[in-house]
Structure 1
């Protein structure tokens, strides 16, 4: 059973949503496996800190990649589970209305705006003067997707376990309100990032309804980067292409025709002695081209 082959196939053939889920799960597993080796070596595993968004701007300048990496990073299994489930549920609703490129842009830009809200809050409000925080998780991106689809299709009903069916606008409003109320009680940085993601989801759809796709530039840049990256690591063909010069006169033309006919005769003799399967790829192509003339 080729599990790794199935994973590669579904990642390659799957939607943007499938790939985002795979990346989140993959990053979690890789970091946990690396953490096991650090544990066995008796060393502290600090890789997650280098991928999380720090609240101190000096550290942020030394780790400028963190506003991207943090949105694929999770502290524990339940943290990962809830974010992946939210990404799947609300991502499916989003893809009902829009293509995958828009989902990718909302995920990435929602995460970036969430990180921006977090950094600003920790450097503006006095409550965080003596607090050093680290931000990780896909929840800001998930909030951006939830609010985006709720603004676009507010009256779509979804089924909530043990509660019943509710319009999507009320579900989004509940989670946004819960994040606001939870700032002073638990995980203030994460809840502020949720609000940043929610703001981007609202802003994105409002601009899209006026004819402006705020994520189009990002997606175009990612497409160009992906094409460049694939070209760099694409194996070069070992096939050597040669071009025959046209005959200079009748004598040269007859010589080339005789040489080609001799080559065809040799191929036919080989088929008679060893069968068609004994031919090389080049011999089969030559025979096929000759048969079309």
Structure 2
């Protein structure tokens, strides 16, 4: 099977958001390397920055207003153009590995749609902080025109969201052993704060914008408010536009007979339904016997749903 077919198949499944985000980031990275090579061989290297201007976020307000889509495209773009091949690969690998580790938790407990919502909202929050910093902070005025690429702000939103949702969940880290993810998130936030004083000040501020969004997202979700609904609504609309399904005919009698049974089955399968106290007690007993990691995906979702009530 060809690489293009593998990529296509990754996007066919509707319950594969984490893989799709990673594949999209890697695909853009490889595509930009190929285009840079083509530009070089064609003797038009000077035109390559014009191409990058279409995807990277500029701190210059006039440039941004001419390229408003970069408010989001920058978060899917990793480059070797500025930092060399090793720097570009390291940047991509660090972001994708962190998104895979922490994104699995978000996907498992909150579902694919909220994972995508977190990524998109984290990217937007990082972009807004980046732009405002250069427009309002006196220390940035001399550097207006700097650009930003990378998924770090969006990924840090996912990391902090996971740590807010499951602070005592542990990862096994080389040389450190088992570490609670709240401490991993804390260290990454501190690194970004320290980084504000370095050469990538605007980028690190964008990371902090994403981190704040991740924290607020989970706190609002626990309060019963899903900040990702606008993103999900847009995604559903785009899905209908690009995946139109043919109209199916069904007899009135068949539809009437199946309505009651289908409704009951849907309620049985619906993980969003409020779990009964008996179900919660059984789940808690299972945790006390075998530990939290022994729960199934459905049991974890039920436990999270019960915590919101």
TM-score, length of structure 1 as denominator length? 0.76
Return closer, same or farther for 1:61/1:10 CA change in 2, 3 Å cut-off: closer
Task: Name the CA distance, whole Å, in 1 between partners of 2:78 and 2:179.
Answer: 29
8 A Cα contact 1:11 1:19, kept in partner: yes
TM-fit CA distance, 1:7: 3.1
1:169 to 182, 201, 222: 182
TM-fit CA distance, 1:227: 1.1
Residue-by-residue CA offset, 1:141-192 (whole Å, 9 max, x unaligned)? 0000000110111111111121111111111111001100111123111111
| 1:1-293 alignment runs, 5 A limit | 1-13=1-13, 15-43=16-44, 44=46, 45-46=48-49, 47-75=51-79, 76-131=88-143, 132-231=145-244
Residue-by-residue CA offset, 1:91-130 (whole Å, 9 max, x unaligned)? 1121221100000000001100000011111111111111
SS in 2 for 1:64: coil
TM-fit CA distance, 1:220: 1.3
SS in 2 for 1:166: strand
8 A Cα contact 1:151 1:202, kept in partner: yes
CA RMSD of aligned residues (A): 1.7
TM-score, length of structure 2 as denominator length? 0.72
* Gap regions ≥5 residues in structure 2: 80-87, 247-309
Residue-by-residue CA offset, 1:24-52 (whole Å, 9 max, x unaligned)? 01111111111111111111212122211
- 180-189 or 67-76: which moved more? 180-189
SS in 1 for 2:208: helix
8 A Cα contact 1:11 1:22, kept in partner: no
Task: Name the CA distance, whole Å, in 2 between partners of 1:34 and 1:3.
Answer: 18
Task: Name the CA distance, whole Å, in 1 between partners of 2:153 and 2:114.
Answer: 16
Matched pairs, number: 234
TM-fit CA distance, 1:10: 3.1
Task: Name the CA distance, whole Å, in 1 between partners of 2:66 and 2:183.
Answer: 41
Task: Name the CA distance, whole Å, in 2 between partners of 1:11 and 1:224.
Answer: 17
Residue of structure 2 equivalent to 1:252: none
TM-fit CA distance, 1:2: 3.5
